[in-house]
Amino acid sequence: MSRRLYYCDHYAIPLPAGHKFPAEKYALLRALLAGDGFYELLPAPLADPSTIELAHDPEYVHGILNGTVNPRIMRRIGFPWSEQLVRRTLASVGGTLAAAEDALATGFGGNLAGGTHHAFRAEGSGFCVFNDLAVAILSLRRQQRIGRAAVIDLDVHQGDGTAGIFAADPLVLTVSLHGENNFPFRKQQSRIDIGLCDGTRDEEYIGRVREVLPLVREFRPEILLYQSGVDGLAGDRLGRLRLSPDGLKERDRMVFEFTKSSGIPIVVTLGGGYAEPIERTAEAHANTFRAAAAVL
């Protein structure tokens, strides 16, 4: 497996005091993994806008890049526009593109950002500007590097943007396990959706993950993108599940053992995590990459 991970926390987004986005977790996560010493940590390259346009409307892409996007869209995204936001967004997508290259070469690639699954073709939402998962899949397909791809989205919020982008695409399997009563309140139709009740605990959750993995194998994807959000952790500010740190570790171990036994290259992206103190969230994200190192 590749021992490289890509980061973009060096691009700081200016946010107002009290903003819900946990910007600090990215640098904390990088520091934890640097302390482990297993991975080489590299700054993510900036994605080319023409590559982003494979998944997004060119007018929307240009509006984000030059700051002329409709203010309504920026409000839905939840960030004020800034040049720093543009650079961080391009790096977030670029990290997933680079991780996808690593995955095809070695079986594993990782991005310490990305997983921006609420971004639709012509607008962003929920702290997501561009959908790095969709961009990576469509970029590899344009290069004829892959045909079939799968997305396993285990964030507590449905991967609605990813589902929407690939709604009519039979070559992409979208799988989302999420809180049924949580954001987004207007759900899209993934290929496989599993809505979980508020308060769901480890045993039921792990059982539902175990159910979907054989369905992914049947689809025969040539690459798997794993949105590894940790906002299902009990006490998360924006989640409503009651998963333990050990439950999340078991989830990650299952996913990595599945990809190893199936011979499917995997790209790991972050996703949500809003537990307090923020160190709990960073530790949960770090455990995902530690599980990858242990299994793969």
CB atoms within 10 A of CB 59: 12
Structure tokens at 262: 């199936």
Active site residue 178: no
Mention every residue, 6+ apart, whose C-beta is less than 8 A from residue 151.
Answer: 133, 137, 159, 162, 166, 172, 173, 174, 175, 224, 225, 226, 227
Specify the amino acid at residue 191. Answer: R
Q: How big, in percent rounded to 5, are the helix, strand and coil portions of the chain?
A: 45, 15, 40
Of the candidates 291, 280, 288, which has an alpha carbon nearest to the alpha carbon of residue 24? 280
Of the candidates 231, 258, 256, 255, which has an alpha carbon nearest to the alpha carbon of residue 243? 231
Specify the amino acid at residue 27. Answer: A
Exactly one of 19, 62, 117, 118 is catalytic; which is it?
118
Pairing of strands 192-196, 172-179: parallel
Separation of CA 295 from chain center: 20
Judge whether 269 and 153 are in contact, CB under 8 Å: no
Gap between the terminal Cα atoms of the chain: 6
Mind telling me the catalytic residues? 118
